Amino acid sequence: MAVLLIADANSQKIKKKRIRHERKKEIPPTVEVETVESQQSHLEEQARARDVLEAKLKAIEASEAEAVPEDENIPDPCENKRCGPGRECVPGLDGKARCACMKACPSEADFRRRVCSNYNETWESDCELYRSRCLCLEDQEECKSHLNKHLHIEYYGECRQMPACTEEEMSDFPRRMRDWLFNVMRELADRKELSTHYLQMEREAERSTNDSQRSVTAAIWKWCDLDGHPHDKQVSRHELFPIRAPLMALEHCIAPFLDSCDADNDHRITLNEWGTCLEVPMHELDNKCDDVRDGVDEELEAEESL
């Protein structure tokens, strides 16, 4: 065994000598070998550095592609903020949304957008009127008259001379109003724009042989419908707006009629006052309001009631 190992060692030595001899013959001088080797390792180092750099660049590019620009990252505080008429949302320095008077209203060339105020002045649009009111409520320099704090729309369209409502017209007005209200209710029912509760009331009234049921149904429905903001079983002057403003230009008796409804002159109309005014049988009046209402924005409501 030992002999074999020695023989093997000797043969290894011979092989190494032969290799050295062959190298001397075939390859360039040692200095040149070292230069080539160092160049090789230098190139390899450069390649490794390049690979690392490329990887870093790719990572940066990927992170930039994923990153959202800074301002898109910050949620817009005005996104879900609603402001009252004549106001617009502005983000405050604290990042919170607030409602401020509109800087300007869109210019309105259409004369049909004109509105007549409670001071019998024609305004170019409801926006202009509400903006002016806002400026005065906030004591801004642009406020033209402190009276404008109480500005509201009297009716749509240019101000005009309203003929006086005669006694005869006024005495017939409750009947006309009841008929008109029931027709509106019927139309909404046909268009499926009534809640299930009021739809059922309307259908029952249609089936009834008692004419007064239509009047009672329509009276209750409209009173409940008007008592929206705040929903407090009373209809304020502000809540009368949806019925008053559009009808004023068409029905010159509507204003004196609605004024007459507030019998105790407390600026609020109760269901009983409404029933008396519309001359519906009092014993049939029952508060049948559908209390399921869409979300009421208390903040908007507060601003609108200013």
- Residue 161: CB minimum distance to Ca ion, A: 29
8, 54, 142, 266: which one contacts Ca ion (CB under 5 A)?
266
Q: Which is nearer to Ca ion, 169 or 304 (CB)?
A: 304
**Contact residue for Ca ion among 77, 268, 288, 306 (CB under 5 A):** 268
- Give the shortest CB-181-to-Ca ion separation in angstroms: 18
Residues 144, 240: Cα–Cα separation, whole Å: 27
259: contact with Ca ion by CB under 5 A: no
Least distance to Ca ion from the beta carbon of 275, Å? Answer: 12
CB atoms < 10 A from the CB of 222, how many? 22
Task: Quote the strand ranges of 111-232, DSSP E.
Answer: 115-117, 122-123, 153-156
Identify the H or E element spanning 63.
helix 30-66
Site string for Ca ion, 218-257 (x = CB under 5 A): ---------x----x-x-----------------------
Nearer to Ca ion, 215 or 234 (CB): 234
Q: Does 44 bind Ca ion (CB under 5 A)?
A: no
- Alpha carbon distance 116, 160 (integer Å): 8
Cα separation, 154 vs 103, whole angstroms: 24
**Contact predicate 134/238, CB 8 Å:** no
Tell me how far apart the alpha carbons of residues 229 and 301 are, in angstroms, rounded to a whole number. Answer: 6
Give yes or no for residue 262 binding Ca ion (CB under 5 A).
Answer: yes
- Interacting residues toward Ca ion by CB under 5 A: 227, 232, 234, 262, 264, 266, 268
